[in-house]
Amino acid sequence: MTQLCWVPSGPPEVVIGDLFHAIEPHHESIAAVGISVGGPLDAELGKILDPPNLPEWHHFDIVQEVEERLKVQAFLMNDANASALAEWKYGAGRGASDLAFLTCGTGIGAGLILGGTLHEGASGQAGEIGHIKLTRDGPLGYGVVGSVEGWCSGAGIAVQANGRTAKDVAESARARVPEDVALWRIIGERLGQSLAILVDLLNVERIVIGGIFPRCEDLIRPSMEAALKAAALPSNLASCKVCAAQLGDGIGDYAAVCVAEYFEQKR
């Protein structure tokens, strides 16, 4: 798999223009296009709706834009679902029949593989665990005070750390700054409580976590495992393995390819 380019985020007309400029030399070799992007979106209509991390992409008809420019069929999917397919096929989820993949970047979402099949839900938004209210009070995330996203996402960590990034807080914690060591312990506890919901509700055999988790696993896992053990049913937890995503920064490339493959196979 070849990575074509990286372009900065911004207004849709700028990003789309940069992407098409980058892929123009490869145009003749493109058979179909997979698009992986954060929700909410409408995959059937091919529209990005109102993703909180892409505020300028309001009801943007990305599938139509791509198909008109490239003259090939394009397919749209929530990035958590697309990444779940990618890690299931190429990464840490290989061999699992029941899997939950968690994005853990600016926001938090989940993609679900149940019974060897992607589970998208009635509106295509199954797995929005970031929206779940975890505590009565706490940081705001996904429009909800005390949500999973508020506690465990990169944006949520920045709020709790007075504007510092997760990377900065991790470096400080590894230097044994007490308040940042304590902050990662809290984040791990909240993540463990969140994972217990998935473990007991879905009884998956594997949970794969991307984004911040692979980079900060040493800081998160101890308190995460303690909270997960305290909250989940022992039998369900015993059959579930929690592991870091393996595809790293290239997961977006794999995810987009998996979107195209997934819909091509369904045709």
Q: What is the pLDDT tens value at each position of the chain, 267 positions in all?
A: 444 556 777 888 888 888 888 777 777 778 888 988 877 788 888 898 877 777 788 888 889 988 888 888 899 998 899 999 999 999 999 999 999 999 998 889 899 999 999 998 887 788 999 999 999 999 999 889 999 999 999 999 999 999 999 999 999 999 999 999 999 999 999 999 999 999 999 999 999 999 999 999 999 999 999 999 999 999 999 999 999 999 988 898 899 899 988 887 776
**pTM score:** 0.88
Angle at 201 between CA 96 and CA 227, to 5 degrees: 90
DSSP H helices in 26-78: 62-70
CB count within 10 Å of CB 67 equals: 17
Cis peptide before 51 (omega within 30 of 0): no
Domains in the chain: ranges and CATH: 12-81+250-266 (3.30.420.40), 95-246 (3.30.420.40)
Specify the residue for token string 């997960």.
228
